[in-house]
Structure 1
């Protein structure tokens, strides 16, 4: 149980860093090269870019810190699965906001932020669970690479 709690704490720390990166990249792009005054769909593209950057940052943090004991020797498939799960979490957050805002008609800033928090929590639980049981599951990871044994040859 102690290991799970430590892993959850690391997962939360990585997620917090990813959130800061996402917000910073989004706002930087939106204020400069993808400003809505210059590019009509600028905020949309700024969000796409910031999400991609944040997913990469989160993958690196989770691969090398949160799930370091379970990471695979080959990163390609792990990375693809990580992105799929991350996008699934994003869909959960967007669906929560969509139901609240459009289906239920709760359109105030407070309502949108509450829906965003609920979606973030649900998406985070979904992502952690799938990272743990699918992407970084111990049975799916390769055995650790061992250094070759050096032997001395007598002259």
Structure 2
């Protein structure tokens, strides 16, 4: 007689979750590109800044926007606390 052990999750359910996460990841990335372009054009045309200064500022704003999007929307179900006994630099 064999004993049946319940399967953790089916392949289809795991793939559905992965596709959902990839779509959220892409949405945040696309939003970061839009923010980068918008801030860059605002700096160039409205503030009349140099292209390098505008590029640096727009990149920093896009990085911050993406961090917030990934941390609080895409990966909000993941624990932010470090794993005990594991080096943060490994």
**Deviant stretches of 4+, over 3 Å:** none
Distance 1:54 1:8 in 2: 19
Give TM-score scaled by structure 1 length: 0.42
CA-CA distance at 1:7 after TM superposition: 0.7
Give TM-score scaled by structure 2 length: 0.69
Gaps of 5+ in 1: 36-41, 74-139, 143-155
* Residue pair 1:70, 1:141 contacting (<8 A) in 2 also: no
Distance 2:20 2:37 in 1: 26
Distance 1:27 1:46 in 2: 8
Q: Number of residue pairs matched?
A: 70
Gaps of 5+ in 2: 1-14, 85-90
Deviations 1:43-88 (A, max 9, x none): 0110100000001010001001111111415xxxxxxxxxxxxxxx
Point out which structure has higher relative CO (alpha carbons under 8 A, 6+ apart): 2
Q: Between Structure 1 and Structure 2, which shows a larger proportion of helix residues?
A: 1
Instruction: Please tell me whether residue 9 in structure 1 is matched to residue 17 in structure 2.
Output: no
